Structure 1
Amino acid sequence: MPVAGANPKTTAPRDGRLGQLRQQVYEQLRSAIEQGRLPAGTRLPPSREHAASLGVSRNTVLWAVQRLQAEGYVEARVGDGTYVSQAAGAPPPQGLVAPPRGLSRRGQLIAETAARWRPPHVAARAFRIGAPEVDTFPFALWDRLARQARPGQRSARAQYLDPAGDPELRQAVALWLWASRGIRCDAAQVVVCSGSQQGIDLIARLLLDVGDEVLVEDPGYPGIRASLLGHGVLARPVALDAQGLRIDEGAAQWPGARMAVVTPTHQFPTGVCMGLARRQALLQWARTHDAWVVEDDYDGEFQYGGAAQRVPALCSLPGSERVLYVGTFSKTLHPGLRLGFVVVPPALVEAFAMARAITDRHAPGDTQAVLARFIAEGHLLRHLRQMRELYQARQRVLVDALADTSGGALQLAPSDRGMHLLYEAAPGSDDETLSRKALTAGVMLAPLSRYAMQSTRRGWLLGYAGYSEAEIVAAARVVGGLARMR
């Protein structure tokens, strides 16, 4: 059954470049899915048959189908072919419009990420995930540190600066990583960036080519997938178990993958911690396949056991030379700082610094300098101690309040790490309806399905870090009442 639409071979530009032909086949398939000519559940024709009907090579069709699979439009069923996914025909998010005409192909890829990831830009309220406590942040201390700078220092920071970051901040970060996460690195390996999202973007631009395959966690963080897809990279979903990403399955299914992006300390969004054996297997995969591992340690500082019980970073293990470590101060301090960093191998530092310079030259000098002092003088350590205690207390309030208000229907399992909890429902169940009802009542309750690609895992994510006990209890009453009515 050929897919409805023009024959790409007859409509391709006369130069017949392979990339343009692949793009046309991809766009025709995607259009047929979005317009309903290929409804959800439709089995795509075999690639050889499809290629013959279109007059193109089989590899051209395979490339287009693989990209659609990475974007969630189709799903492969082992031994049964490829089908249009059930979610492919769902309406786009409210307010979403088609990319404007005139964009380049890469521009279209970037614009289309809005269909997969809509970063929040409204005030956080319970139970939105990823929001740290900001009301008690020591702003007065921060301002005092800023005022202590001498006029000559202020003038120097007002000039164009090193795109890799302020030297004192890079040194402070390197020392902090050794003390808190067990990572031995030189200050010269630290590249300062505008949060973890820019760090992922730099990695994708510098280490991947269009059409490359990257193993990503499923379910996982959509901002990572959006960045990869915006660069024309194929995000390959890999299932999780109690030890994290199944690298054995990922390697078998996608043998050509050039990178894996993981959240090993506290997997987002399920919360599992990758065990030592799985970490070693992941590092061995990277060495064997000459691939990269990206460690996104987005909330690794929030482990609530004693120091001896805290899990060190993947990057701290022997044999981690192929690991790039991405850190952020958006969770440890607050997202308004717009500061994060990437720890890269020495040979890559100059390339990363130049990519940063091309993007936005460098981070603000004053902010970097104040943060360097904030870390070096021990204020970060004290702040994190306070936040760990506060977040633990808020987590207990959430667990108790939700169990009480739902009549025992929603029993959350406590966690010794992180800033949110997951309540997991039956695989394949509807988790969107409750989330929509909660939002109507003023509560942000993210469904787990929003973070899945092929995974059928379902449930709800409840952030607690950034909300007072009163806010948590009030939101729990809403969610608990809705759960009783299900």
Structure 2
Amino acid sequence: MPSPGANRTTATLRQHVYAQLRRAIEQGSLRAGTRLPPSREHAASLGVSRNTVLWAVQRLQAEGYVEARVGDGTYVSQAVAATLPAAQSLVAPPRGLSRRGQLIADTAARWRPPVAAAKAFRIGAPEVATFPFALWDRLTRQASTGQRSHRAQYLDPAGDPDLRQAVAQWLWASRGIRCDAAQVVVCSGSQQGIDLIARLLLDVGDEVLVEDPGYPGIRASLLGHGALARPVDMDADGLRIDTAATQWPHARMAVVTPTHQFPTGVCMGLARRQALLQWARTHDAWVVEDDYDGEFQYGGAAQRVPALCSLPGSERVLYVGTFSKTLHPGLRLGFVVVPPALVEAFAMARAITDRHAPGDAQAVLARFIAEGHLLRHLRQMRELYLQRQHTLRTALAEASNGAWQLAASDRGMHVLHEVAPGTDDETLSRQALAAGVMLAPLSRYAMQSTRRGWLLGYAGFDDAEIHAAARVVGSLVRQR
């Protein structure tokens, strides 16, 4: 029998979820006619049980805030719109969100970053159990008291000089990018890098070319700043810039993942890369290269594709990198390589946002890179990830009686099992989630694209976890 304390905790969680949803409706973040997220997905994103979310939704339904449509989901009630002004006066401050604030709040309907613990086959989750924490702690302890005291002060918002130098040298050795250390601006990951770019280089109403399907976190950042994300089809060579130039002639920026396109895994060919750079020059536009897992290429060094930013004529490319995939997300460190004329503006934007990254973490990372530990760690992870990808492909083929034969990939941290365009890929994903397996549907990342399938991450899960999850998915596939 649960203890009284456990009952109180459950009740508190239910009330909190209920209050959060009601406040979002009353303040207009969830507008009349908005479809609520499926209860299982909502619960997973909040890190609570599905029953907690169902209780909150059922109470809102009883109060008339939401209405259930059989076979279609739960929606914010149209009838509640007439009562919103009175409700807002009770719970909202005299002046609500600004127009830009509302744009940011509205992104919750398009993208919710996961907060629940990672489990197979969640994408984007690196291996963290074997990270050399002991080595990292030893490097931290080797700093003198004077050095620690210095790092406890306010620091350069562009980043620790040693870290910027280490990153510049690493980019030349690993990705073929020649840049000066002064062009490196340290940030708290690729998401903040995209945010800085959108704030500084785009105005409200500017059009931005984005890959379709593509990463919703990028679109959410752009939309939050009032930019217009314009979807562009993908083919075997990546984003179709020729089509985009005709369809969206006034676009001022393109955001691409050329080394390993997210989520399809396509590598942009050289001719397409050159066409993209030519488009940027002709249209006086920017290209943002998000190299989120470009370090994980499994061929020999001679076979690895260099970064778009390393090509001649790439002066209008801003390169976004992160250590969330190469090391671990908890580090919260990434960087943007920007043209020299923009460095001061980016540093000031960083200062306005959160002043600078933690000094100790930057200093330790600088040593971690300079002393060769990052290179050794990545070599180990490449071997491990390639082996885990093989385990995943073999386990799923066996568990599904051959129905799912996943193609091998020579890069990245996930694989895609694609099916016929327009296929329902949500139902299987919901069934898998109910059984404790994260199986992301490709449709979740599409704007207009009809491409469908499922994404399976393998990097952060050991063989036992992969086999267990494969048995769940295989059983569901056999029942279809």
TM-score of the alignment, normalized to the shorter chain, above 0.5: yes
How big is the shift at 1:90? 6.5
Long gaps (5+) in structure 1: 1-27, 36-88
Which residue does the alignment assign to 2:345? 351
Question: Does residue 257 of structure 2 align to residue 263 of structure 1?
Answer: yes
Change (3 A) 1:321 1:310: same
Of 268, 279, 303, the residue aligned with 1:274 is 268
Instruction: Report Cα offsets for 1:431-452 as digits up to 9, x if no partner.
Output: 0000000000000000000000
- Equivalent pair of 1:447/1:461 in contact (CA under 8 Å): yes
Instruction: Report Cα offsets for 1:402-459 as digits up to 9, x if no partner.
Output: 0100011111000000000000011001000000000000000000000000000000
Return the letter of the residue paired with 1:128: R
Which residue does the alignment assign to 1:60? none
Which residue does the alignment assign to 1:190? 184
Question: Does residue 369 of structure 2 align to residue 370 of structure 1?
Answer: no
Return the letter of the residue paired with 2:295: E
For 1:485 and 1:408, locate their aligned partners in 2 and report how far apart those are by CA, in whole Å.
Answer: 13
3-state SS of 1:330 partner: coil
3-state SS of 1:256 partner: coil
Return the letter of the residue paired with 2:118: A
1:376-455 correspondence to structure 2 within 5 Å:
376-455=370-449
3-state SS of 2:279 partner: helix
Which residue does the alignment assign to 1:311? 305
- Equivalent pair of 1:266/1:273 in contact (CA under 8 Å): yes
- Equivalent pair of 1:92/1:115 in contact (CA under 8 Å): no
For 2:324 and 2:74, locate their aligned partners in 1 and report how far apart those are by CA, in whole Å.
Answer: 32
Matched length: 401
User: CA-atom RMSD, angstroms?
Assistant: 1.7
TM-score normalised per structure 1: 0.81
Question: Does residue 188 of structure 2 align to residue 218 of structure 1?
Answer: no
Which residue does the alignment assign to 2:456? 462
3-state SS of 1:331 partner: coil
Which residue does the alignment assign to 1:12? none
For 1:308 and 1:264, locate their aligned partners in 2 and report how far apart those are by CA, in whole Å.
Answer: 18
- Equivalent pair of 2:33/2:75 in contact (CA under 8 Å): no
Of 107, 111, 114, the residue aligned with 1:113 is 107
3-state SS of 2:325 partner: helix
Change (3 A) 1:92 1:333: farther
Question: Does residue 259 of structure 2 align to residue 232 of structure 1?
Answer: no
Which residue does the alignment assign to 1:321? 315
Q: Percent same amino acid at aligned positions?
A: 85
Long gaps (5+) in structure 2: 1-27, 36-71, 77-83
TM-score normalised per structure 2: 0.82
3-state SS of 1:347 partner: helix
For 2:248 and 2:33, locate their aligned partners in 1 and report how far apart those are by CA, in whole Å.
Answer: 25
Which residue does the alignment assign to 2:466? 472
3-state SS of 1:374 partner: helix
Question: Does residue 135 of structure 2 align to residue 130 of structure 1?
Answer: no
Instruction: Report Cα offsets for 1:232-280 as digits up to 9, x if no partner.
Output: 1000000000000000111110000000000000000000000000000
1:62-141 correspondence to structure 2 within 5 Å:
91=74, 102-141=96-135
Instruction: Report Cα offsets for 1:304-349 as digits up to 9, x if no partner.
Output: 0000000000000000000000000000000000000000000000
Instruction: Report Cα offsets for 1:340-391 as digits up to 9, x if no partner.
Output: 0000000000000000000000000000000000000000000000000000
Return the letter of the residue paired with 2:348: M
- Equivalent pair of 1:406/1:481 in contact (CA under 8 Å): yes
Instruction: Report Cα offsets for 1:206-247 as digits up to 9, x if no partner.
Output: 000000000000000000000000001000000000000000
Which residue does the alignment assign to 2:38? none
For 2:203 and 2:97, locate their aligned partners in 1 and report how far apart those are by CA, in whole Å.
Answer: 20
Structure 1 stretches of 4+ with a deviation exceeding 2 A read 30-35, 89-93, 98-101
How big is the shift at 1:104? 1.0
How big is the shift at 1:122? 1.2
For 2:332 and 2:165, locate their aligned partners in 1 and report how far apart those are by CA, in whole Å.
Answer: 19
